[in-house]
Every structure is written in C-alpha cells, then in structure tokens.
Amino acid sequence: MKDGSHRLTPEQAVTLYRDAPLHSLRSAANLRRKQINGDKEVTYLIDRNINYTNICTINCQFCSFYRPPGHAETYTQTIDEISQRVLELEQIQGSRILMQGGVNPELGIDYYTKLLKSLRELHPTIDLDCFSPIEIEGISDVTGMSTLEVLKHLKDAGMHGLPGGGAEMLVEEVRKDVSPKKGSPDNWLRVMSEAQSLGLITSATNVFGFGETFEHRVEHMRRIRDLQDESVEKYSNGFTSFVSWPVQLENNTYGKRNRGRNRVELGAGPSEYLRHVAVSRLFFDNIAHIQASWPTMGLSIAQMALLGGADDAGSTMMEENVVSASGTEKMEASESELQNAIVRAGYVPRRRNSRYDLLDTPSPETQLKDLAAPPPTQF
C-alpha cells in the first residue's frame, strides 16, 4: 500500500492539518479511503469491554477510571465474573472481548495465564484482545520477566491480540506533562513491535487535545507509520487499524487542573476531530483501516468521519468504563444503531472480527433505498 515517492511527508501533513480547507481535506481523504477499502461497505465489531481491575499505580491525569492500591473502591474480577460477561457477549453473537485494566502490582503472571486459559476453554470462539503495552510493562516489573517473555506466556495461554491502549501521544514532551509515571513512547512502540513479532493482532490509538501542537500530532502518526513499515517488512504483521479521539476532560485531574485556561487549547471539537481523521487517512498509506470514534464524538459525527476517511465504525462497546468515567454519557450502542448509522452515511454495514475478517451480517432495519435524502457530504 505504501506509494513510494508519493508518500505524504510529516511536513506536508502538518501543512494540511494547519491550512487545508476542511471540505477539500475530507474529500481527498474519502477518495483515498475508497482506493484502499472500496466505496460500498463499512465494517463494525460486536464486542465487550471488560475492565478486569481498576487498581493502577500510573496515575494518568486524564484518567477518571483508576483507583490507587488500598482505595475503598478498588476491585479485581474473578474468572467466574469475567466468564459470565463473556457468556452474555456470546448470547448476542459477539466475537471479541477487549480486556484491559490498570497496572495492578498485586497480580502476578499466574493470574493472567490462568484467566486466559480458562476463557479459551470456556469460550473458544471469542477472540481475546487483552491488556495494553503499559500493562505488559507492569506485569514485567512485577514478575522480573522481560516484556517479550510476558507476551509469550500470554500468547501461549490463549491471548489473540494486544490492544493499542495507552499510546495517547507518542511524544515524550507531551507524555511527561499528562502521565509522567507512564512508560516512555519508546517502550510502547517496543512492546507493540514484540507483539507483532509473535503474530499477535495489534491496533494503534491516539488521544489528542492536551494542548499539543500539530507537529506533535503528526509526530505521533510518524512513529506509528515507521513501526508499521518495520514490522510488516520483518514479520509480515502490523497494526490492523488506527483510531483516534479527543481527550475527555470533564471528571479528571487534567481537566480540573486546566479549568482556568482558555478551553480552546484543550480537547477538540467536531471539526478538529474530522480534520484529524482525514489527515490520518492520508498519512497512513501502510495501515488499512481508520476507525471512527462514535463513543467520544457521537454517532452523527462518526457518520461524518465515514465520509472523510474512516472505513470502520468501531464496536458496540458493551460495558465500557474507562472513557465514560471521564464524562462521556453514552458508551454502548446496539448492533442496529451502528448499522443504521452506517446505512444513513450511504454504506452497507458488515460485521467483522478483530482480524477484519468479514462475518455473516444480519440485514439492517434501514435500507439505503428507504432513505429520503442522501447523506451529508461536508461538516
């Protein structure tokens, strides 16, 4: 997919981000999306988010979900509790769990491997995309193993993939301000490279709106694109997708700490989010899928993203707790809601799994022929 001399440079990406008219930028991104993914289908995933523990020692200032060890509101779920949640997902024909928590110093490798083996035995058809690079680092610290050894143990126990959570902004200057206890951007990239070397499914994420510059945002993308080049060449495996969203500031330390500042500097509104999606589609010539983030932006803005570079509507996100703790109200959508949003954007909805394999898909309640007017083409 990489296009030699026509590859967008970081400098060009910054120029587009800063100066390109939004409608023209989104039109170019939509054309590129059609070249890569076709112009008929938009995929989505039926899954469940399972936050197995909220105990964490990292203290990211934009996170409202975690609780420090010893706090009265801490929890760690048992295998039986987690299995029951997976069973409920199976009952609605789900195909994946996204299981993440915090860096919990009380959990050794046995907790994770026993959990994965049990889920693999009890729910053999469900993909297990579990933990994040920072959690892998935490397990490494607790056990004394290298992160590669930890990943090998988890894969052997039944883990399919390593989600891209915890990247936020892969720029040290930004990380030091918002999550100084978190591992460095180099660590996140290294753990992802190790996961890709083992054949695990991986995705790349990006949270923006911390007051960073356009150059910082593009630098984050550049580092992911460079790793994708390297991993595809070495392992024939890389990131399946890229998904970004603005930081949620309502109920966390970072938002409260900056409440007196000019709020335009923090977070991001719909037009800025759509600009970010469009630039990412044009920049990532080596990552197939760009995901729209309806949980943070709402289904209507996600529809706009599908008309400006994104080709995937994300997932139903049954039981999401982390982002919603920061102030987002609705963090779950039914399959019919996602399907109807896709249809109203002018596309055919298709179920997928975490590998982006297409699955049998029920017919949506709303059909393209039923719509009275075409979808909007600009924001």
- Cβ–Cβ under 8 Å, residues 211 and 173: no
Q: Please state, as a whole number, how many other Cβ atoms lie within 10 Å of the Cβ of residue 367.
A: 10
Q: State the 10-residue block means of pLDDT for the chain, 379 residues long.
A: 72 98 98 96 95 74 60 80 95 93 83 96 97 91 95 98 93 87 89 98 96 96 98 98 86 45 65 98 98 92 97 83 45 86 95 96 79 52
* Spatial CB neighbours of 158, under 8 Å, sequence gap ≥ 6: 116, 117, 119, 120, 128
Per-residue pLDDT at 61: 54
Q: Which of 242, 170, 230, 161 is nearest to 204 (CA)?
A: 242
* Predicted pLDDT at 176: 87
pTM: 0.87
- How far apart are alpha carbons 308 and 40 in whole angstroms? 14
Q: What is the pLDDT of residue 253?
A: 45
Asked whether the beta carbons of 295 and 331 are under 8 A apart, the reply is: yes
Q: Convert the pLDDT of each residue in 141-171 to its tens digit.
A: 889 999 999 999 999 999 999 999 889 999 9
Measured CA to CA in angstroms, residue 26 lies from 20, 42, 200, 280, 378 at distances of 10, 17, 32, 11, 8
Domains and CATH numbers, the chain: 4-370 (3.20.20.70)
Neighbours of 116 (CB within 10 A): 23
Per-residue CA distances from 252 to 34, 66, 83, 268, 323 (Å):
39, 10, 31, 16, 11
Q: How far apart are CA 229 and CA 98, in angstroms?
A: 26
In the block, residue with structure tokens 């010893």: 70
Distance separating the N- and C-terminal Cα atoms of the chain: 29
Reduce the DSSP state of residue 295 to 3 states and report it: helix
* Three-class SS state of 99: strand
**Per-residue pLDDT, 196:** 98
| DSSP result, 186-250 | HHHHHHHHHHHHTT-EEEEEEEE-SS--HHHHHHHHHHHHHHHHHHHHHHS--EEEEEEEEPP-T
User: What's at 163, amino acid-wise?
Assistant: P
DSSP string, 118-183: HHHHH-TTSEEEE--HHHHHHHHHHH---HHHHHHHHHHHT--EE--TT-S---HHHHHHH-TTSP
